[in-house]
């Protein structure tokens, strides 16, 4: 399966949600579209792009419109109140991520692909369940109801959180897409993997009325389970 990186372009609004029991057109790992309900519902990501003033230089908007037939996008969630933002001062100088300046072909002279803070799980949780337990001894009680966290290629909404000493018991939605093993990492800056749901509606707004600047309608992505 070919996975496309969502372009690094200005975003006006972004919302992650789990809207219901099923979404027509959700995808499984084999790329098969689902019309029947998925237990716990599918997640979606809605993005409103800012006015794209460089469309005639780099036509990202038209590129997005050409990838509306089930192509999978990897989208880094931008900073909104849905992401954990309160990191203790003592931790601010510590960077978590993967080294990129390693003389490999993808070397961009930048030290880190920052993944936010990585929490370690302290027990396993089976695929399809909704409870995970994290070690929060390093940074304390910074995860709240409404935050979005990630494991592997999936994003989850925090439905409830209960702190016991240095651990956090968290209920998530949708249910876990893959089994979480003890010692796995949960990230506070996840990627969303999804396919464009409303391709026809965003195509209708491609025009040159604003001297080449393009304002697309809100783009909705359906979760893809890899």
pLDDT 10s digits, 64-96? 888 888 889 999 998 889 998 765 544 444 444
The DSSP string of the chain is: --EEEPP---EEEEEEE--SS--TTEE-TT-PEE-SPPTT---EEEEEEPPBTTTTTS-HHHHHHT--SS-EEEEEPP-STTS-----GGGTT---EEE--SSSTT--S-SEEE---EEEESS-B-TT--EEEEE-TTT-S---TT-EEEETTEEEEEEEEEEETTEEEEEEES--SSPBPTT-EEESS-EEEEEES-HHHHHTT---TBTTBB-PPPEEEEEB--
| Burial label, 9 (beta-carbon count in 10 A; 0-12, 13-18, 19+) | middle
Q: Which domains does the chain have, with CATH numbers?
A: 1-77+191-226 (3.30.200), 78-189 (2.40.30.290)
Query: What length is written for the chain?
Result: 226
Output the pLDDT for position 50.
85
What band does 124 get if pLDDT is binned at 50, 70 and 90?
Answer: very high
pLDDT band with cut points at 50, 70 and 90 for residue 198 = confident
* Res 98 pLDDT > 90: no
| CA–CA dist 43, 20 (Å, integer) | 8
Separation CA 225–CA 26 (nearest Å):
9
End-to-end CA distance of the chain: 9
Worst-scoring range by mean pLDDT, 9-13, 42-46, 203-207? 203-207
Task: Judge contact between 172 and 118, C-beta under 8 A.
Answer: no
Contact (CB, 8 A) for 97 and 126: no
The residues that bridge with 97 in the sheet, in sequence order, are 114
Q: Quick one: pLDDT band at residue 211, thresholds 50, 70, 90?
A: low
Measured CA to CA, the distance from residue 115 to residue 96 in angstroms comes to 6
Choice among 73-77, 123-127, 137-141, 170-174 with the minimum mean pLDDT:
137-141
């Amino acid at each position: 399966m070919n996975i496309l990186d969502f372009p690094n372009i200005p975003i006006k609004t972004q919302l992650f949600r789990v809207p219901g029991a099923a979404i027509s057109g959700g995808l499984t790992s084999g790329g098969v579209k689902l019309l029947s309900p998925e237990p716990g519902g599918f997640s979606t990501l809605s993005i409103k792009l800012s006015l794209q003033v460089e469309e005639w230089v780099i036509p990202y908007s038209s590129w997005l419109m050409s990838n509306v037939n089930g192509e999978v996008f990897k989208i880094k969630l931008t900073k909104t109140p849905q992401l954990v933002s309160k990191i203790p001062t003592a931790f601010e100088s510590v960077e978590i991520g993967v080294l990129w300046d390693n003389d490999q072909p993808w070397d961009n002279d930048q030290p880190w692909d920052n993944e936010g803070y990585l929490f370690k799980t302290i027990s396993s949780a089976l695929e399809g369940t909704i409870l995970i337990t994290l070690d929060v001894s390093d940074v304390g009680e910074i995860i709240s109801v409404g935050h979005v966290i990630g494991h592997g290629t999936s994003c989850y909404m925090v439905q409830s959180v209960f702190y016991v000493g240095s651990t956090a018991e968290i209920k998530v939605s949708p249910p876990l897409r893959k089994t979480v093993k003890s010692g796995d990492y949960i990230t506070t800056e996840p990627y969303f993997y999804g396919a464009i749901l409303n391709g026809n509606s965003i195509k209708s707004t491609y025009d040159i009325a604003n001297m080449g600047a393009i304002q697309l309608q809100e783009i909705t992505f359906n979760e893809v389970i890899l």
